[in-house]
Amino acid sequence: MSDLTDVTSLTSMSAARIAAGIAAGEMTAVEVTEAHLARIAAVDEKVHAFLHVDREGALAQARAVDEKRARGEELGPLAGVPLALKDIFTTEGIPTTVGSKILENWIPPYDATVTKRLKDADVVILGKTNMDEFAMGSSTENSAFGPTGNPWDLTRIPGGSGGGSSASLAAFEAPLALGTDTGGSIRQPAAMTATVGVKPTYGGVSRYGMVAFSSSLDQGGPCARTVLDAALLHAVIAGHDPLDSTSIDQPVPDVVAAARQGDVTGLRVGVVKEFRGEGYQAGVMQRFDESVELLRELGAEVVEVSCPSFTKALAAYYLIAPSECSSNLARFDAMRYGLRVGDDGSRGAEEVTALTREAGFGDEVKRRVMLGTYALSSGYYDAYYGSAQKVRTLITRDFGKAFESVDVLISPTTPTTAFPIGERADDPMAMYLADLCTIPSNLAGNAAMSLPCGLAPEDGLPVGLQIIAPAMADDRLYRVGAAIEAALQARWGHPLLEEAPSL
Amino acid sequence: MTVTELASYEDALDAYDPVMGLEVHVELGTRTKMFCGCATGLGADANSQTCPTCLGMPGSLPVVNATGVESAIRIGLALNCDIAEWCRFARKNYFYPDMPKNFQTSQYDEPIAFEGYLDVQLEDGEVFRVGIERAHMEEDTGKSTHIGGATGRIHGASHSLLDYNRAGIPLIEIVTKPIEGAGARAPEVAKAYVAELRELIRALGVSDARMEMGQLRCDVNLSLRPHGRAAFGTRSETKNVNSLRSVERAARFEIQRHAAVLDSGGTILQETRHFHEEDGSTTSGRIKEEAEDYRYFPEPDLVPVAPSREWVEELRAELPELPRLRRNRLREEWGISQHEMQSALNAGAVGLIVATIDAGAPADQARKWWLGELARRANEEGLELADLPITAEQVARLSELVAEGSLNDKLARQTIEGILAGEGTPDEVVEKRGLKVVSDEGALGTAVDEAIAGNAAIADKIRGGKTAAAGALVGAVMKATRGQADAGRVRELILERLAPSE
């Protein structure tokens, strides 16, 4: 085995490098896949990023790529690159649990559009990653199948709901992962693990086959270790899908070109005034302020921008998301698929449904279903769901006004670094605050990215910088992200993840 | 089972004024379902016309059927409704196993069509205007079959089978405004409204609207109030009344039942009621102690429907002639009474008669065959007239053969029998069965002479001036020719021989 194809070397490579290597014949897709499967076998017992590893399927996909190359066929930009898929995307023939007991052992009969596009692009799907049940949570502790450890400190959370995906990247189990972001579930885990995560414009990536939590907020997106890798993955999964009515029928912005360009000269950057103060960790703000300074040095015009309604975003979110989830999760009734409890011949359907939901849903899911059921009730609808929709409109207007004077907005991704597993488990409000800075973009449907901007001095844990762009201007995220990434790595002399402890 | 107390219909109407609301669900005849690409044909194996979307699989999403929207708009326009410039679907949340998502994708406060009316004509020709509150789009549910209990009811069943082939089939729900002022004619108005709506739906070609197949289902809401009072009484909702006659009977029964309850000082429960075809009664279903809270909210998985005004006007311009107007026009053209027209309509014969006339038959002949022999045959077979294996062209040809004297009525009926038995076209059946009228004057003359010779007494009566007695001799000739003679010609020949002076 050459140096290039030794396991450590293969698992630390970027997706772009792997794809180029396979295309050039420096390595085979099977070698790359085997290296990652070996890494998973070596470390995932500790990390628990994966709920299901599809060893045979991954190797078969890899072999198909190698055969394609042998036949002289042209390979796509991510052909043969392994990927960890959040367990919220349906995969035909492969279990899809959404981190819930109620779907334990459910094998979908169909592929999500995202899954299909990954397969069509010859991306090798290694398996399905852990997540908070139904994507409800910010720590992955709400998974019915146990928490995931943060590779930076296994006693801490990797963020959530997509903690499995972010941890798989930080643990070098996969160079690419896929997440979904309803209130920050891609960006906050990226911030916790020093990886890159992007929530595309709502409607940019098809939701068909993505198990719904909150339909008007859910958005699938790329997770990677570099901005360019995220862009390459973004380009593969994005674009109009006739199976999703809310999918945008417009060309996808050229995110790959933007990631390769990485220039912020003359770009107008707004710092969101509301996202600092009480509850924000000092080290987080320090790294954030340094990033602001860095942008100035890189030639951007930085101004402070006020978005006053953002302070109400969390409250609006916790009415809209639970309301939609109370309806979306009604289908889990033990009739057609998934768990069935109490069907002993003595009980009627209604009772079996109740027993199944009691046993199959975790506390956080039940909490939100109840919240949402209440908020939609006749007599309360206007006060709760209706008011929340008005706040949503105000937030969208704040963004609109801000984007009249700036090209992108920036903020910390989340107020603190990764907290210890268990610390906020019994305090839902403390947990909800982790998404304070990410939620406004879900409510407005615009695009946002988190990328690493250093380690907090007080705990040595990663800090995320959030970049927000107007809807359908996702390319700006990559342009700014790539510039910051390059400047920071030049300063550090290496990618931040190299500072993570070995597992 | 307790016997329901009923007031006499006359007493009920003396004391009370009935108010009705009719909710009609029409299953559209689109090729695919409302929110997915599954087929909609009836009679397929259970659950063979399903996909992740109409089974409510995790992750699946709906996409609106454009033909469904177009049909809804056309129905709305034909009902003189305003068409929304912008409207959304809404989720109606409730748990039931035959509803895969445990919410029905429907419309709530933003229906696609609203504020219209339908003029219906009663049997005596009176036109009654029924206000339309709204027409909205939604999806049908699956079908539960309860096994092991009595009469297919869920009570006592050991298990239930679910067939989701119907789940997701497009429905248009059409809701009337309160129908007031019909008085004793309320049941008749209800029936005429549903009949007219059914004709309208068929004329638009958006559904076959066959009530016995569940393609058009009616809920009859009814309340009584004392004469002179403005406020409505408490209503009952009689669900799934699935024939025109039943609609009338259900309204009538409820008027009598309500009156009896109110007369005895009782109060009407707001409840759903089941209608029983056997005896025309209704029985209590689910009591709505508290209004069910469906937690409606706008469907986030679908984008709003915003039909452009240009499109709406195009659809309006392409609307067919409305059935009532068309019927009145045809009635005048055919020169028949309102009642005769109603019979043709009830028999489902209007379109067939028109087609037969278009194929060259005179109107009276077309009516005669479809409403006579063919209606009788259809009735015997338990078929709709349109489902008989005979075409309008064939009926027209038959009528032509009769007109030219090649067939008499009796032979024509035998020809019909052959056509229905699949023996071929009218000409083929006539040929194969040898049904042509005997018009060989020589053979006919011989038969007439033989009949006169064999019935001397009758022949004398005719000679004596009693020409009416000729019928008996005609009968004898017809018998001898096995019906293949032209009875008119036979009569002429007899009279030529026996009463030349006339």
What would the pLDDT profile of B386-443 be if each residue is shown by its tens digit?
Answer: 889 999 999 999 999 988 888 888 889 989 999 999 999 999 998 888 887 766 677 7
| A window 366-425, beta carbon within 8 A of B | 373, 376-378, 381, 385
Structure tokens at B197: 């709506």
Does B42 fall in a domain?
Answer: yes
Mutate to test the interface with A, among B95, B163, B292, B294 (most CBs of A within 10 A): B95
Q: Which of residues 122-161 of A touch B (CB under 8 A)?
A: none
User: Region B228-243: what's the mean pLDDT?
Assistant: 94
Q: Cβ contacts (< 8 Å) between B162 and chain A: which residues?
A: 335
Alpha helices in B107-243 (DSSP H): 186-204
More confident residue, B197 or B149: B197
CB contact, 8 Å: A216 with chain B?
Answer: yes
Q: Are residues B275 and B379 in the same domain?
A: no
Note the pLDDT of residue B482. 80
Same domain, B158 and B297: yes
Q: Are A170 and A189 in contact (CB under 8 A)?
A: no
Q: Which one of A161, A168, A411, A441 is the catalytic residue?
A: A161
Query: A380: nearest CA in chain B?
Result: B295
Chain A residues lying within 8 Å of B57, measured CB to CB: 90, 108-110, 336-337
> B86 and B201: one domain?
yes
| Residue A349 at interface with chain B, using a CB cutoff of 8 Å | yes
Helix axes of B323-334 and B338-346: crossing angle, nearest 10 degrees = 120
Q: Can you give the residue range of the structural domain that contains B373?
A: 347-433
Chain B residues with beta carbon closer than 8 angstroms to that of A103: 58
Give the nearest partner residue to B61 out of A245, A330, A376, using CB atoms: A245
Question: Which of the listed residues B400, B433, B466 is the one where a domain comes to its end?
Answer: B433
- Cα separation, A114 vs A210, in Å, equals 8
Q: Could you tell me if residue B23 is inside a domain?
A: yes
pLDDT at position B1 is 45
Catalytic residue among A168, A185, A309, A326: A185
Residues B458 and B426 in one domain: no
Q: Do A376 and B103 touch (CB under 8 A)?
A: no
User: Which chain B residues have any C-beta within 8 angstroms of a chain A C-beta?
Assistant: 52, 55-64, 91, 93, 95, 97, 100-103, 158, 160, 162, 291, 293, 295-297, 300-303
Is the predicted pLDDT of residue B286 greater than 90, yes or no? no
pLDDT score for B491: 86
Q: Are residues B206 and B283 in the same domain?
A: yes
pLDDT value at B185 more than 70: yes
Nearest-Cα distance to chain B for A216, in Å, is 5
* Cβ-defined contacts of B386-390 (< 8 Å, 24+): B386/B348, B386/B351, B386/B352, B388/B420, B389/B419, B389/B420, B389/B422, B390/B416, B390/B419, B390/B420
Does residue B453 share a domain with residue B363? no
How would residue B102 be classed by pLDDT, with cut points 50, 70 and 90? very high
Looking at the partner chain, which of B58, B97, B301 has a beta carbon nearest the beta carbon of A349? B97
Catalytic residue check, A161: yes
What is the least distance, in Å, from the CA of B368 to any CA of chain A?
53
Q: Token pair of B359, please?
A: 């194929």
* % of residues, chain B, pLDDT over 90: 67
* pLDDT score recorded for residue B472: 85
Task: Examine the pLDDT at B215 and tell me if it is beyond 60.
Answer: yes
Residues A273-301: tens digit of each pLDDT:
999 999 999 999 999 999 999 999 999 99
Write out chain B residues lying below 8 Å of A110, CB-based.
Answer: 52, 57, 60
Interface of A with B in 285-344 (CB under 8 A): 323-324, 326-327, 330-333, 335-337
Cβ–Cβ gap A331/B102 under 8 Å: yes
Closest CB to A215: pick one of B55, B57, B300.
B300
Ordered domains of chain A (ranges, CATH): 7-309+396-499 (3.90.1300.10)
The shortest C-alpha distance from A217 to chain B (Å) reads 9
Q: Where does the pLDDT of residue B502 fall: very low under 50, low under 70, confident under 90, or very high at 90 and above? A: very low
Identify the CA nearest to B352 among candidates B403, B294, B394.
B394
What is the predicted pLDDT for the residue at A345?
Answer: 85
User: Which of chain A's residues have a Cβ under 8 Å away from the Cβ of B63?
Assistant: 242-245
Average pLDDT of chain B, as a whole number: 91
HEC string of A230-261 equals: HHHHHHHHECCCCCCCCCCCCCCCCHHHHHHH
State how far residue A125 is from chain B, nearest Cα, in angstroms.
19
Backbone phi and psi for residue B163, each to the nearest 5 degrees, phi listed first: -120, 120
Side chain identity at residue B145, one-letter code: T
Does B101 share its domain with B170? yes
User: ipTM more than 0.85?
Assistant: yes
Tell whether B399 and B448 lie within a shared domain: no
At residue B483, the pLDDT reads 80
Please report whether residue B326 resides in a domain. no
Q: What is the pLDDT of residue B292?
A: 79
Q: Is B328 within a domain? A: no
Q: Give the domain-ending residue among B248, B283, B311.
A: B311
- Report CB contact under 8 Å: A108, B57: yes
Find the mean pLDDT for residues A81-96.
98
Mean pLDDT to the nearest integer, A237-252: 98
Dihedral sign from CA coordinates of B64, B65, B66, B67: negative
**pLDDT for B310 beyond 50:** yes
Q: Is B487 in the same domain as B451? A: yes
User: Which of A103, A345, A353 minimises the CB distance to B95?
Assistant: A353
pLDDT category, B262, cuts 50, 70, 90?
very high
Looking at the predicted structure, is the pLDDT value of residue B248 above 60?
Answer: yes
CB A331 to CB B91 under 8 A?
no
Question: From the CA of A350, how many Å to the nearest CA of chain B?
Answer: 8
| Residues B307 and B393 occupy one common structural domain | no
Phi, psi of A42 (to 5 degrees): -80, -40
Residue B3 has pLDDT above 80, yes or no: no
A473 and A253 in contact (C-beta within 8 Å)? yes
Q: What pLDDT sits at residue A336?
A: 94
B429 with B483, same domain: the answer is no
Q: Is A86 a catalytic residue?
A: yes
Give the pLDDT confidence score for residue A303 in this predicted structure. 98
Query: Residue B444's pLDDT is what?
Result: 81
| A203 contact B CB<8A | no
A2: pLDDT strictly greater than 70: no
Domain count across chain B = 3
Rounded distance between C-alpha atoms, residue A386 and residue B90, angstroms: 14
The answer to whether residue B342 is domain-embedded is no
CA B469 → CA A495, B157, B460, B462, B481, distances in Å? 120, 70, 10, 6, 19
Q: Which pLDDT band holds residue A5 (cuts at 50, 70, 90)?
A: low
CB–CB contacts below 8 A, A to B: 104
* Beta carbons of B21 and B219 less than 8 angstroms apart: no
pLDDT cut 70: percent of chain B above it: 96
Is B320 inside a domain boundary? no
Interchain pair A108, B61: CB under 8 A: no
What is the CATH number for B458? 1.10.10
Distance (Å, whole) CA A395 – CA A444: 7
Q: Of the residues B257, B288, B311, which one is the last residue of a structural domain? A: B311
Per-residue pLDDT, A500: 96
Mean pLDDT, rounded, for A143-163: 98
Lookup: tokens for B158: 């050991």
Task: Kindly state whether residues B423 and B379 are assigned to the same domain.
Answer: yes
| Choice among A86, A116, A128, A199 that is catalytic | A86
Residue B2: is its pLDDT beyond 70? no
Q: How far apart are the CA of B108 and the nearest CA of chain A, in angstroms?
A: 13
A458 pLDDT band, cuts 50/70/90, is: very high
Residue A392 confidence class, pLDDT cut points 50, 70, 90 = very high
Q: Is the peptide bond before A165 cis (omega within 30 degrees of 0)?
A: no
- Judge whether A338 and A97 are in contact, CB under 8 Å: no
* Per-residue confidence (pLDDT) for residue A1, from 0 to 100: 39
Q: Is residue B231 part of a domain?
A: yes
pLDDT at B22 over 90: yes
Whether B3 maps to a domain, the answer reads no
Work out the minimum CA distance from A93 to partner chain B, whole angstroms.
14
pLDDT at B384: 83
